[in-house]
Structure 1
C-alpha cells in the first residue's frame, strides 16, 4: 500500500492476510469489514475452531505510511490520512455527500482496523441508564438488552485491547481494575483538575486504549501526542495490533481490497454469502452459513440497501423501512481554552487527562432531556492551531506564538435522540470506481440537541475559566463532528421499527448478523468503540450458541 492510498496502522502486518483466500468458495462464517467489530467477531469465533473469512475493502497499513513517523506529519494528516473520505478520496473509499440543516462531516477509514486507525483511544463504557432512556426519561427508545448483559464482554475487551485507566469511578457501576494504570495527565491535566475542584464538579481519570506500561509484547506510550495521526510506537491499541494477529494465528482468513457488492440469500431467504470485487477487479462469490456485516453506521446501511432482490426490493433486512434511518453522530463540539502559561499540549496522549459525566443524566432543572460528557484534553496540533488562529500575512507569527502550546480543549459529547429523518441513503449520481453508489447523509439537530449542545458549551466554558484560562473560543456545530456513526440498523424487539434483534440477527433474514455502531438503539454520550467491541464479542457468543442449537 502506498502513502497515497489512505490510512495507517501502528503495527505493520502487511502480508499477514491470506491472499489466497479470494479463491475460497465457501466458509462457515463470513465477516464483512475488518474494523473494531469485525476483528472481535473473527477473533472470538476462530479461537473456537470456526472457519472464518473476513472481506475488507481497504488494506493493511505499512509503518511507513503513519504520518507521525515523518516530520511533515500534519501535512500528511490532512491529505492521505484525512479522516473524511470526501477529502481523502483514496482508492478504497466511496463518495459521501453530507446534507441537512446541520451536515455531518463524516469521518471513517477503509483499512484493516477500520475507523479506529485514526481514533484517539478514548475508551468508555456506557452507563446503565443509556440502555433505558425511553423508560427513564421519555427519550429515544429502549435497547432490548441491559448494561449487565455487556459487563463480561467489556471486561474481555479491556484485557484484550490493553486499556489504561482507574477503577472506582463513583458515577459508574462497580468494575474490576482496568488492565493498566492511567496514562500520565501532564501539566494541563492538573489545571483541569483545579478547575473541576473549584466548581465542585466530579471528574475522573480518562480511560484510554493506550498502553501506560508494556503489555502483551507492545511497548508503553512515549508521549508523542496527537494520537489520531498514528502511533509509531504501537502503544495505541488498535484492532490490527490486538485482535487481528491472534485471529489470524487461530486460523481466520482476511482478504483485503475486497469490495462487497451485495449480500446474497438462498431460496428460503437465508443469508448465504456475498458477491465482491477482489484486488484485481474480478467478481467473486463466496458462500457462508452465517454472514456478519461490520461496515459501520454508513457502510452497513449502504451494503444492505445495495442488496436488493425480488424478496427484498427496498434493500436487505429492510421490511421495517428503518435501514439507514435514525442516524446518530452525537452532539459534538470543542471548547478551546487559552492559558497565559504553557500547557505542554504536545506531550502525552491527546485525550488522556481527566473527564466528567457530571451533567450526563437527565436533570429536571434543564430545558433538555439527557446530558453530555466533558473530556478535558490537551490542545490542538501546530498546523491546526495556525489554521484556526493565525491567518497568513502580517501578524501571523505573533498570533501563532500567542496560541501555540498555550491552549487546551474540552470536548463536549451529548446524547442524540434517534429521529427517522436523520438518515443515510444511496447516491446513484456519485459512484465509486466500480460503479457502485456512494451515499448521502442527512442530519438536522433537534431542538433538544440544540439546547443540550448549548448547555454543554456553557459548562465547558465555565470549566475553562475556572482552570485559569484567559479566553475561550468555540468550534460550534457547523459542521457536526462525524467520528461516531451510529443507529442506522438499530437493535430492537419489534421487527416493525428495528432491523436486528437482541442477538444482532436481522429480523427479516435468518443467518444475517449486523454487528457495528449501526445496531445502537440510542447513542449515549460517550465514544462508542468499546461498546461496539463488547457487542461484537457478545454477538459472536450468540452465533456460536445458535450454531450448536441447530
Structure 2
C-alpha cells in the first residue's frame, strides 16, 4: 500500500492515470511491464475491510448514510455532488481505491458478441470498432485476476472457461429456476466476481449477503485487493485524496498534466507525458468539459461536441415475488444468483428493438432494510400489525430485474452545472436524461415477464417497480469509441482523436450499452487498450 503520509514530489511522470477504480487499476497493472513511471491519482481513499459496515452492529443503518450508493446522500468529503433533477434515474458511484467495485454486487457477465454489432444486426446505433473476439483473451485474463466463479456451457455465449465453480444458487435460485423451467425459458447461474472457494490467498464467500457495503471477507473481487497489490509491487505510485480539476495542454495541444487539489486542499500541478482517464461515464466527461483552453474552448477532446453526450444507463424494472415458504433470501451474494437471456436478442414482434437480461437477486439484505422498504412501500405498517407483516416479507421475497439495453441518444447527457460545485469549487456534473419510447416498451415487457416467472415459481404476491430510480450504477457512452472523429471521441483503442497522448478506458467509451452489467467488459477494454498502447509506444503521438 502506498504511503498515505508521503509528500508528493510532483516530478514529471510518464503515465498519469486519473481514477483507481475498475479500469484505472486494470490499465495500471497492464502498463507495469513497460517500466515507465506510472502515477495514479484517486479522489477517494483506501478502504479497510475492518471498517466495513458488517464489522459493526449497526451495519444495516450505514447503508442509508456513510455507505449509501448515492453520492448525494452519502456526501462524504471525498464525494462530489451530482445534479440529477432532470433524470428519473439517480447516478450511483463510490469514490475510493477500488471505485465502485467496493460497492458493486460483483454480478459479472460479459457483453454478448451481438452487442458489438447492433447496427449490422438491427439497424440501430453504431457498431463498435472492436469485437467480442478482439476482447475474448482479455475477458479470460481479467476473470483470472478478479477471481470469477461460474458454470461453463451457457448456450447464450461462445464457449468459455472460468477459474472457479459457480456460487451456489441456494433456495432462491432453485425456486425461481423451477419457474423458468415451467415456462421453457433460458436460465443460468450468474457469473460472479466472488470466490466460491479459496483462491490466490483470498478466502471463499461466507454468504453474508451485504456485498454492496464492502466485503469484509475479501471474497468479492474489488480491485483494491486484486489488481492494485500487484501494480504497486511492480512500482506504480498511487496517490489518494487527490481531486483532479482539469487536464492541461501545452501550446501544441497535447496533454501535459493535471491540476488537482491534495488532501489538504492545496492546488497542485502534476506534469505527465501521457494522461489516461478512468473516472466513469459521469466523472470523465465532467473533467474533460472543465478542461477548457484556447485550443479546446468547449472542453478537452471535444471537437466533435460529443463529450458528455449519449449517456446510457441500464433502466431497470423489478418484479418482487413474495413466497409462502421461507427462502433464506438474506443469505448468499445479494446480486448474484441466476439470470435469463430469454429476451436478450431482438424480436421485433415484441414492439421494440434489442432486449434485456433478467437478473434474479435475493431479497433485502437484513431485517432493517426489509422493514424500511416495507414502510416506504406501504406493505409493512408502523404500529399494530408490523411484526406480522414483517414476518410475511423477511426471507420470503425474491426480485427479478429486467436490466434493459439503453440505446445512445445525444439528448441524454452530462454537462457542467452552472451553480452546483464540489467542496473544492469544481463544477458538479448535471445529468439530463429521458427514457426513450423503446426503453419504455422494453421496461413494460420485462416487468410483465418478471411477474410471469414469479407466478410460475409459486409467488403468492407480486410487488411491481416499473422503473428503479436507484438504478444508475452503469454510466456509459459519454466519450464513445469510433473511427470517425466527427462521430466519436476516441478511436478503437481508446486514444482521443483530438489529443494524441490522451486516452480513456472507462465505461464512457462504450458505443452501445448491451443489457448486462458492464464491469467485466470495461476491464477487458482497459487491458486491450493497455496492450495497444504498449504495441504503439514508438509512434504513440503520430497521426
Length-normalised TM-score, structure 1: 0.95
* Contact residue 318 and residue 467 of structure 2 kept, 8 A: no
1:357 aligns with one of 341, 355, 359: 341
Q: Distance in 2 between matches of 1:159 and 1:332?
A: 29
2:325 is the alignment partner of 1:335? no
Q: Distance in 1 between matches of 2:481 and 2:60?
A: 39
Q: Distance in 2 between matches of 1:194 and 1:17?
A: 52
* Contact residue 22 and residue 278 of structure 1 kept, 8 A: no
* Contact residue 337 and residue 408 of structure 1 kept, 8 A: yes
Q: Secondary structure at the match of 2:102?
A: helix
Q: Distance in 2 between matches of 1:406 and 1:272?
A: 56
What pairs up with 1:321-332 in 2 under 5 angstroms?
321-332=305-316
**Alpha-carbon distance, 1:537 to partner:** 0.4
**Alpha-carbon distance, 1:445 to partner:** 0.4
Which sits farther off after the overlay, 445-454 or 392-401?
A: 392-401
2:59 is the alignment partner of 1:73? yes
2:179 is the alignment partner of 1:204? no
**Alpha-carbon distance, 1:159 to partner:** 0.3
**Alpha-carbon distance, 1:64 to partner:** 3.5
2:424 aligns with one of 434, 438, 442: 434
* Contact residue 180 and residue 212 of structure 1 kept, 8 A: yes
**Alpha-carbon distance, 1:24 to partner:** 3.1
Give the structure 1 partner of residue 159 of structure 2.
Answer: 174
2:285 is the alignment partner of 1:301? yes
Give the structure 2 partner of residue 3 of structure 1.
Answer: none
**Alpha-carbon distance, 1:50 to partner:** 2.3
2:360 is the alignment partner of 1:376? yes
CA 1:74–1:253 in 2, change beyond 3 Å: closer, same or farther? same
Q: Distance in 2 between matches of 1:380 and 1:225?
A: 9
Provide the aligned C-alpha RMSD in A.
1.3
**Alpha-carbon distance, 1:542 to partner:** 1.3
**Alpha-carbon distance, 1:19 to partner:** 4.8
**Alpha-carbon distance, 1:141 to partner:** 1.6
Provide Cα deviations, 1:70-107, integer angstroms capped at 9, x if missing partner: 1211101110000101101110111111133x522110
Q: Distance in 1 between matches of 2:5 and 2:530?
A: 24
Provide Cα deviations, 1:251-270, integer angstroms capped at 9, x if missing partner: 00000000111111121111
1:310 aligns with one of 294, 305, 320: 294
Q: Distance in 2 between matches of 1:230 and 1:272?
A: 36
2:273 is the alignment partner of 1:262? no
**Alpha-carbon distance, 1:480 to partner:** 5.6
What pairs up with 1:397-412 in 2 under 5 angstroms?
397-412=387-402
2:440 aligns with one of 441, 450, 470: 450
Give the structure 2 partner of residue 244 of structure 1.
Answer: 228
2:514 is the alignment partner of 1:524? yes
Q: Distance in 2 between matches of 1:103 and 1:522?
A: 20
Provide Cα deviations, 1:334-365, integer angstroms capped at 9, x if missing partner: 21110000011111111232111111000121
2:44 is the alignment partner of 1:58? yes
Q: Secondary structure at the match of 2:342?
A: coil
**Alpha-carbon distance, 1:121 to partner:** 0.4
Q: Distance in 2 between matches of 1:528 and 1:280?
A: 34
2:116 aligns with one of 131, 146, 168: 131
Q: Distance in 2 between matches of 1:544 and 1:391?
A: 60
Which sits farther off after the overlay, 118-127 or 260-269?
A: 260-269
Residue ranges of structure 2 left out of the alignment (5+ in a row): 375-379
Give the structure 2 partner of residue 146 of structure 1.
Answer: 131
Q: Secondary structure at the match of 1:104?
A: coil
Residue ranges of structure 1 left out of the alignment (5+ in a row): 1-14
**Alpha-carbon distance, 1:178 to partner:** 0.2
Moved over 4 A (4+): none
Which sits farther off after the overlay, 463-472 or 133-142?
A: 133-142
Give the structure 1 partner of residue 200 of structure 2.
Answer: 216
Q: Distance in 1 between matches of 2:531 and 2:152?
A: 26
What pairs up with 1:29-68 in 2 under 5 angstroms?
29-68=15-54
Q: Distance in 2 between matches of 1:57 and 1:421?
A: 29
**Alpha-carbon distance, 1:393 to partner:** 2.4
Q: Distance in 2 between matches of 1:486 and 1:443?
A: 13
* Contact residue 84 and residue 105 of structure 1 kept, 8 A: yes
Give the structure 2 partner of residue 9 of structure 1.
Answer: none
Q: Distance in 2 between matches of 1:480 and 1:244?
A: 29
2:505 is the alignment partner of 1:486? no
What pairs up with 1:409-420 in 2 under 5 angstroms?
409-420=399-410
Q: Distance in 1 between matches of 2:400 and 2:5?
A: 44
Which sits farther off after the overlay, 193-202 or 139-148?
A: 139-148
Q: Distance in 1 between matches of 2:189 and 2:34?
A: 36
Which sits farther off after the overlay, 136-145 or 495-504?
A: 136-145
Q: Distance in 2 between matches of 1:458 and 1:432?
A: 41
Q: Secondary structure at the match of 1:222?
A: coil
Give the structure 1 partner of residue 377 of structure 2.
Answer: none
* Contact residue 311 and residue 477 of structure 2 kept, 8 A: yes
